């Protein structure tokens, strides 16, 4: 059992050493300070964390849906406007 864990760890380390990761943030212009780069890194990490934490959503609100406007009109009902006064 320990041999499998050692083999897996060795394989993971070999893969990590073979494929170096691209830099998270690359400065193309200017000379930012370390604190400015750290601020941007924290900002992007927070945005990525907020995007990943999309919990269960409630039912979608269909108010104003285009489907409602494209339905055929309701049929005529002679008793629908009984309380309307005509001038």
Per-domain boundaries in the chain: 1-28
Output the pTM of the full model. 0.39
Q: Are the CB atoms for 25 and 41 separated by under 8 Å? A: yes
CA distances 53 to 47, 56, 59, Å, are 10, 9, 18
Residues 44-64 as b or e (16 or more Cβ within 10 Å = b): eeeeeeeeeeeeeeeeeeeee
| pLDDT, tens digit (0-9, with 9 covering 90-100), for 25-63 | 888 999 999 999 999 999 998 988 887 767 677 788 877
Q: What percent of the chain has pLDDT over 70?
A: 54
Q: Are the CB atoms for 48 and 64 separated by under 8 Å? A: no
Q: Is 39 helix (H, G, I), strand (E, B) or coil?
A: helix
pLDDT over 70 at 3, yes or no: no
């Amino acid at each position: 059992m320990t041999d499998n864990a050692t083999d897996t760890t060795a394989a993971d380390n070999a893969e990590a050493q073979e494929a170096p990761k691209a830099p998270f943030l690359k400065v193309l212009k200017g000379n930012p300070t370390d604190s400015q780069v750290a601020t941007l890194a924290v900002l992007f990490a927070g945005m990525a964390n907020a995007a990943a934490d999309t919990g269960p959503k409630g039912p979608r609100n269909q108010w104003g849906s285009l489907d409602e406007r494209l339905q055929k009109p309701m049929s005529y009902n002679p008793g629908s406007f009984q309380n309307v006064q005509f001038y």
